[in-house]
Amino acid sequence: MNRNDVALETRKTLLDGFISIDRLHLRHRLFAGGWTGLLQREVKLGGKVAAVIPYDPVRDELVLIEQFRIGPFAADDPEPWLTEIVAGMIEPGENAAEMARRETQEETGCAIGRLEKIMDFYSTPGGSAQRIALFCAEVQAASAHGIHGLAVEGEDIRVLTKSTDEALAMVQSGTIRNAISIIGVQWLALNRDALRRRWA
């Protein structure tokens, strides 16, 4: 099925801020034939996002970041600081690759060499329109250290480096708990040998 199998009745903006929320009333076709009744759905409009796996193919290391996240805090999580890969909003007039380079520099202090697009995916399609463009970026992990981020955006980002195996163990143990980062680390674990051959 495609968009022609959906009948949108109304769409109204409920919240327009750092996060925007719309309410939609719609019907869609059923697999067995016919149409649903009128459905009401609220959807978060998160803007366009890009995420980056900063990877050093020589040292087989990832550059990860740690920062406070409002989502886990609001969920009463006792540990609202999360270990993640680089991610951020694509600014107006900027494409995803440009954002990947800018955000990696801002959040880790690392300049990017080669940059490969991996995939586009939805993180939580049941309630969010946010689509993520995922990249893998060549960096020099030895230069990654310190505290980074933009003060005007309230960012306080600690940089750390881990081997691919260590990062995968952090996913397996639940230490990395961010969906984008889990996808990124698992992709790298599956593809690092081919990536290192391409980037040799």
- Give catalytic residue positions: 153
Bridge partner list, 61: 56, 163
- Which residue carries 């969010």 as its tokens? 128
Report CA 13 to chain centroid distance, whole Å: 24
CA distance linking residue 47 with residue 90, whole number of Å:
8
- Which residue carries 């939609």 as its tokens? 24
Residues 6+ apart with CB under 8 A from 21: 13, 14, 15, 42, 43, 44, 45
Amino acid, single-letter form, for residue 30: L
Q: Is the dihedral of CA 155, 160, 162, 167 positive or negative?
A: negative
137 contacts 87 by C-beta, under 8 angstroms: no
CA distance linking residue 12 with residue 120, whole number of Å:
27
Bridge partner list, 128: 44
- The torsion defined by the Cα of 64, 65, 70 and 76, in degrees rounded to 10, comes to 70
